[in-house]
Amino acid sequence: MAYEKELKIAQLAVARAAILTKAVFHEKAKGTVSKDDKSPVTIGDFGAQALIIAAIKHNFPSDEVVGEEEASSLRDQKDLASKIWNLVKDVKLSDAESDALLGGPIKSEAQMLDAIDMGNSAGGNKGRIWALDPIDGTKGFLRGGQYAVCLALMVDGDVKVGVLGCPNLPVDDSAPLTEDMGSAATDAEGKGVLFSAVQGEGATSQPLTKGPVAKGQPIHVSKISKVSEAVMCESVEPGHSSKGDNALIAEKLGITGKPVQMDSQAKYGSVARGAGDLYLRLPVRKDYIEKIWDHAAGDLIVREAGGQVTDVTGKRLNFSLGRTLTENKGVIATPANVHAEVLKAVQEVLAAK
Ligand SMILES: Nc1ncnc2c1ncn2[C@@H]1O[C@H](COP(=O)(O)O)[C@@H](OP(=O)(O)O)[C@H]1O
Ligand SMILES: [Mg+2]
Ligand SMILES: [Mg+2]
Ligand SMILES: [Mg+2]
C-alpha cells in the first residue's frame, strides 16, 4: 500500500489532537481570541496545531506544513500560551506504542510555540507539504456544533493522503443527518468518526478513538439516481457560503427537502459516506479566497469514495498554487453520476444573477 506510514502517522496525529479539542469543547472558557481577519481562534486550534506538527516533524523532518494558525499572538499573550501548554503537555494516546510513534509529548512551552510556527510553508507544486486545519469550523466548535481536525499530505501539489477527525459526527456511516447538527452536537457515546483516504486506494471510516488506529471500513458516496431526492449540505455560517444561491439551485433541481446545515469538513465526510448527497459552497464575497486547509483532506476523501469535486466552472480544486485555492470560485461535491446535472444547475443560477 502506498503512503502507509504517512497515513498511520496522520491518523494517530489527528486522533491525538482530537483528545485535546474534545477536552476544550467541554470547557466553557475556550480561550477565544480574534484574529486580524476578525475570525476566532481558540486554545483548541493552537494546541491541536502544535501536537500535529510535532508528530509530522518527528516522523518526516524535511516535510513542510501549511497550517492555518501561527504563534505570534501567543508570544505576546503569556497567560494564553501557558494555558495551552498546560493542556498540550498532558495529551497522550491510550497506548504507549502509538504515542511513541508520534515522538511522545512536546518537551516545553517554547517548543510548542515553535511547532505552531512550523506551519508557515508557502505551499506550492514541489515536494512534500502537509495542509493542516487544526480545528475547521471554529465557529461550530464554539457554538456546540460540528468541527473537524483536518490533515492532508500533498506531493508536488497533488493530495495523496487525507484524514478528517470529526468528534461530533455519528460513528455509524448510515445514520441520517439531522437538523440539529449545527447547534446541538455532542461527542457522547456513538459519536466521533475518523475518515481517511489514500489516492487510488479508496476512502474509509472508523471510530475516532484515543488510539491505536484500526483498519477502517470502506465508505462510498450515495447511490442517488434522482437528484430531486438529494440531501444538500451547507455551512451554518451565512458569511461562509451563499444560502440564497443554494436555495435557487435546489429549486431548479426539484429538491424539496431542507438543506442540512453543519460546520466544517464534516460536510465532505458526510457526502463521502452517503449520509448527505451534495455539498455546495458558493461564494458570498468576491474578495474571499478559499484556503487549501479547508478542502484538501475532504476533497480527496470524497473523490476516493466515488464522488466528484469541482469549482463552479467544473475544474478540479487546485492545491498546488500556494496557501490558497487561488482563482477558485466555489465548491461542488457530489456523487460522480449526478455531478454534471448539479453543475449545470449551479451555472444557470449564477448566470441569471
Ligand atoms: N467569507 C468566507 N467565505 C468562505 N469561507 C470562509 C469565509 N470566511 C471564513 N471562511 C472559512 O470557512 C471555514 C469554515 O467553513 P464552514 O462554514 O464550512 O464551517 C473557516 O475555517 P476555520 O473554522 O478553520 O477558520 C474559514 O477558513
Ligand atoms: Mg480559522
Ligand atoms: Mg477551516
Ligand atoms: Mg481552522
Res 210: pLDDT: 97
Q: Is the CB–ligand 1 distance for residue 3 below 6 Å?
A: no
Per-residue pLDDT of the chain (353 residues; tens, 9 = 90+): 899 999 999 999 999 999 999 999 999 899 999 999 999 999 999 999 999 999 999 999 999 999 999 999 999 999 999 999 999 999 999 999 999 999 999 999 999 999 999 999 999 999 999 999 999 999 999 999 999 999 999 999 999 999 999 999 999 999 999 988 889 899 999 999 999 999 999 999 999 999 999 999 999 999 999 999 999 999 999 999 999 999 999 999 999 999 999 999 999 999 999 999 999 999 999 899 999 999 999 999 999 999 999 999 999 999 999 999 998 789 999 999 999 999 999 999 999 98
> Whole-angstrom Cα distance, residue 195 to residue 203?
7
- Which of 21, 138, 310, 334 is catalytic? The answer is 138
| Spatial CA neighbour of 160 closest among 340, 1, 327, 346 | 1
Residue by residue, DSSP assigns 12-71 as: HHHHHHHHHHHHHHT-S----EE-TTS-EE-HHHHHHHHHHHHHHHHH-TT-EEEES--S
Directed axis angle between helix 4-25 and helix 43-59, to 10°? 160
Q: Is the CB–ligand 1 distance for residue 285 below 6 Å?
A: yes
Q: Is the CB–ligand 1 distance for residue 242 below 6 Å?
A: no
> Whole-angstrom Cα distance, residue 114 to residue 49?
11
| Spatial CA neighbour of 233 closest among 194, 179, 290 | 179
Take residue 167 and report the three cell numbers written for it: 468528534
Residue 201 Ramachandran class (φ > 0 left, ψ -120 to 50 alpha, else beta)? alpha
133 is in an annotated binding site: yes
User: Residue 232 in contact with residue 282, Cβ under 8 Å?
Assistant: no
- Give the closest ligand to the alpha carbon of residue 41: 2
> Whole-angstrom Cα distance, residue 94 to residue 88?
15
Q: Is the CB–ligand 1 distance for residue 291 below 6 Å?
A: yes
Is beta strand 158-170 parallel, antiparallel or unpaired with respect to 148-155? Answer: antiparallel
Res 327: pLDDT: 81
36-40, long-range: CB within 8 Å, 24+ apart, which pairs?
39/138, 40/138, 40/139, 40/142
Res 329: pLDDT: 87
Q: Phi and psi of 225, rounded to 5°?
A: -115, -30
Res 182: pLDDT: 87
Span from the CA of 97 to the centroid of ligand 1 (angstroms):
36
Q: Is the CB–ligand 1 distance for residue 160 below 6 Å?
A: no
Q: What is the pTM of this model?
A: 0.98
- Which of 45, 63, 245, 299 is catalytic? The answer is 45
Span from the CA of 143 to the centroid of ligand 1 (angstroms):
14
Q: Which atom of ligand 1 is nearest to the CA of 264?
A: 19
Catalytic status, residue 138: yes
